[in-house]
């Protein structure tokens, strides 16, 4: 037989839940904010969308199967909110962080050895900005947020094989743009 929860116990349970939510907010705020900011490039909007992402996440927390994936999950929620906001307001805004990609293995084949690191980052940043939003998104989820192929698939509602093929195409496009940008700079 189930025991009824008293008002005091209910308040205690609610306080505990709020403490956990606040702890999660403090723990992941910077990552979520950074995700949104790299999409919007607007501090105030990023703060608003970050808070909105947390509200949405807390509201849907029961649907999260593995609490250990909360950070990845909320970052995907935040990125989707930011992209939806941009679509609604039809502004073309810079999309994703390049610094994290500059150190990733996707650049190993395309970075010219004698360029200094800042030039490499700038060149990669410019190249990534030229990709279509879907290509930027899949590269960012995989390499910036370090999601597995399976998690990227869940976030984008795609099969794992589709994720791998789209990621390969996105990286190929990025390499092509990166290399063509280098050729243009050499002509100047």
Residue 39 has pLDDT above 60, yes or no: yes
Residue 93 has pLDDT above 80, yes or no: no
Rounded distance between C-alpha atoms, residue 94 and residue 160, angstroms: 27
Asked if 95 and 129 count as a contact pair (C-beta separation under 8 A), the reply is yes
- Whole domain around residue 31: which residue ranges? 15-89
What does residue 117 show for φ and ψ, rounded to 5 degrees? -60, -40
CA separation (Å) from 90 to 30, 83, 87, 149? 26, 10, 5, 30
pLDDT confidence band for 52 (50 / 70 / 90): very high
pLDDT score of 156 = 87
pLDDT confidence band for 56 (50 / 70 / 90): very high
**Are 156 and 103 contained in the same domain?**
yes
The domain spanning residue 141 has which CATH number? 1.10.10.10
The model's pTM is: 0.47
In sequence order, the 6+-apart residues with CB closer than 8 A to the CB of 18 are none
Q: Does residue 53 lie in a domain region?
A: yes
**Are 111 and 68 contained in the same domain?**
no
**Are 57 and 135 contained in the same domain?**
no
Q: Does residue 70 lie in a domain region?
A: yes
User: Which residue from 145, 144, 112, 132 is spatially nearest to 172, judged by alpha carbons?
Assistant: 132
Q: Where is the domain boundary, 39, 55, 89?
A: 89
Residue 113 has pLDDT above 70, yes or no: no
For the chain, the average pLDDT equals 75
**Are 79 and 22 contained in the same domain?**
yes
Report the number of distinct structural domains present in the chain: 2
pLDDT confidence band for 163 (50 / 70 / 90): very high
* Average pLDDT of the residues in 46-54: 94
Residue 101 has pLDDT above 50, yes or no: no
**Are 104 and 169 contained in the same domain?**
yes
Phi-psi region of 132 (alpha: psi -120 to 50; beta: other; left: phi over 0): beta
pLDDT score of 94 = 43
Biggest alpha carbon distance in the chain? 80
User: Which residue from 7, 72, 129 is spatially nearest to 121, judged by alpha carbons?
Assistant: 129
Q: Does residue 9 lie in a domain region?
A: no
């Amino acid at each position: 037989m189930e025991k009824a929860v008293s008002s005091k116990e209910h308040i205690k349970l609610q306080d505990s839940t709020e403490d956990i939510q606040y702890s999660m907010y403090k723990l992941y705020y910077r990552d979520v904010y950074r995700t949104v900011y790299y999409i919007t490039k607007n501090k105030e909007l990023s703060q608003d969308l970050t808070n909105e992402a947390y509200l949405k996440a807390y509201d849907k927390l029961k649907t999260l199967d593995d609490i250990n994936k909360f950070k990845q999950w909320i970052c995907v929620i935040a990125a989707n909110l930011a992209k939806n906001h941009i679509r609604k307001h039809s502004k073309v805004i810079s999309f994703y962080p390049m610094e994290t990609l500059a150190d990733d293995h996707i650049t190993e084949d395309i970075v010219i050895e004698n360029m200094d690191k800042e030039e490499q980052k700038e060149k990669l940043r410019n190249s990534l900005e030229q990709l279509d939003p879907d290509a930027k998104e899949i590269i960012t989820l995989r390499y910036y947020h370090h999601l597995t192929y399976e998690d990227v698939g869940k976030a984008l509602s795609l099969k794992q094989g589709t994720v791998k093929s789209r990621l390969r195409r996105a990286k190929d496009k990025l390499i092509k743009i990166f290399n063509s940008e280098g050729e243009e700079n050499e002509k100047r």
